[in-house]
Structure 1
Amino acid sequence: MLERTLKKDRTEVTFVLPPYTPPGPVSVVGDFNDWRPGVHTLEPRPDGKRAVTVALPTSQVHSFRYLAAGDYWFSDDTAGDFDGPNSRLHT
């Protein structure tokens, strides 16, 4: 799930996943972090879900995926748009 907060000069996007699905550490990787795993690792929130917030420029399109333990790559079905196997995010 994606949560967006519009700011004056950027859009803060929070990437949210259920507590243990998939198990183990998960990071969001995309063109905004040069597809580098571990740069944006999801952390537990008080509600048990895992999340990370990334500040992105407004009025742009970004491709991303999640990477979980065991080299398990997956897309975000809630993104609403896809670029091949990647989820696509409009800010």
Structure 2
Amino acid sequence: MSIKKKFLKGKPVVKITFEVAKEIANSAKSVSLVGEFNNWDPSASPMKSTKEGKFSTTVDLESGKEYQFRYLIDETRWVNDSEADKFVPTVYGDSDNSVVVV
């Protein structure tokens, strides 16, 4: 997994590329990036599969904030990003959410 941040000069926006490794996706048919920035909507940020078997997507996020997120694999399995800036408990208290700080 990886998170790559690209800060834009003169703009309060950061382009963030999220990637789920082939080993984590494990022959998945779909992976979605789900978080505060898209109202936790699994259909809002579908990730595209690459030839190498990874899944990737890029989103623009307002800088100076923290955003909780997780990956949803095949609409059934939630996964955190091991490269997240930090982790916080979910509102359900049964797991943690990944957090990206921009």
Structure 1 residues without counterparts, runs of 5 or longer: none
Amino-acid identity (%) = 29
Provide the residue aligned with 1:42 in structure 2.
47
What RMSD over aligned residues (CA atoms) do the two structures have, in Å? Answer: 1.6
Map Cα deviations across residues 12-39 of structure 1 (whole Å, 9 max, x no partner).
1110112363222000100000000021
Map Cα deviations across residues 50-86 of structure 1 (whole Å, 9 max, x no partner).
2100100001000000001151011111113001110
Distance 1:75 1:83 in 2: 11
Provide the residue aligned with 1:6 in structure 2.
7
* TM-score, normalised by the number of residues in structure 1: 0.89
Greater C-alpha radius of gyration:
2
Provide the residue aligned with 1:31 in structure 2.
36
Do structure 1's residue 63 and structure 2's residue 68 form an aligned pair?
yes
* TM-score, normalised by the number of residues in structure 2: 0.80
Give the aligned length.
Answer: 91
Runs of at least 4 residues off by over 3 Å: 45-48
